[in-house]
Amino acid sequence: MRPDAELSLPAEAAFVSVLRATAVSLAARLDFTVDDLEDLRMAISEAAGLVLAQATPGGTLATAFAFGEGRLTVRVSGPVTDPAPVERDDFAWQVLSALTVDAASDVEDGHLVVTFTIVSLAAF
């Protein structure tokens, strides 16, 4: 994924609101509907929560955004001490999967990575 925008924040729950606000601002510029923006807000919260649950204290929560025609792909990652894949039966994963058209998680070089794509209803 080649990002169009990136944001790095401390890997702390207090900064998730900044991440949500940034994501929603970017999606609003792509003409996402109000309902799409709410879905994105929840998806960002769930993806960040999954990463933060394993994040190394003092680490960085890195987020990359890739824009497309009526779609936004988001990649949230953070360093983890003992990397473990996200459990597919985890409630947060179920919510994320329901809100997006594509969700994936992986461990890359000691970082937990959660990627998802959300498509605007306005694109249909």
Q: What is the pLDDT of residues 72-120, one digit of tens each?
A: 999 999 999 888 889 899 999 999 999 999 999 999 999 999 999 999 9
User: Cα–Cα distances in Å, from 122 out to 21, 83, 119?
Assistant: 20, 38, 9
CA distance 55 to 5: 22
26, pLDDT greater than 70: yes
| pLDDT reported for residue 123 | 65
* Tokens linked to 10: 């401390």
pLDDT at residue 1 greater than cutoff 80 = no
- Amino acid identity for residue 111 in this structure: H
Task: Provide the pLDDT for residue 85.
Answer: 82
Could you read off the pLDDT of 42-80 as tens digits, one per residue? 999 999 999 999 999 999 999 999 999 899 999 999 999
pLDDT of residue 5: 96
Superfamily of domain 5-123, CATH level 4: Histidine kinase-like ATPase, C-terminal domain (3.30.565.10)
Question: Which runs of consecutive H residues, i.e. helices, occur in 2-104?
Answer: 16-29, 34-52, 91-99
Query: What global pTM score does this model have?
Result: 0.93
**What are residue 60's DSSP bridge partners?**
10
- What's the rounded mean pLDDT across residues 16-25? 97
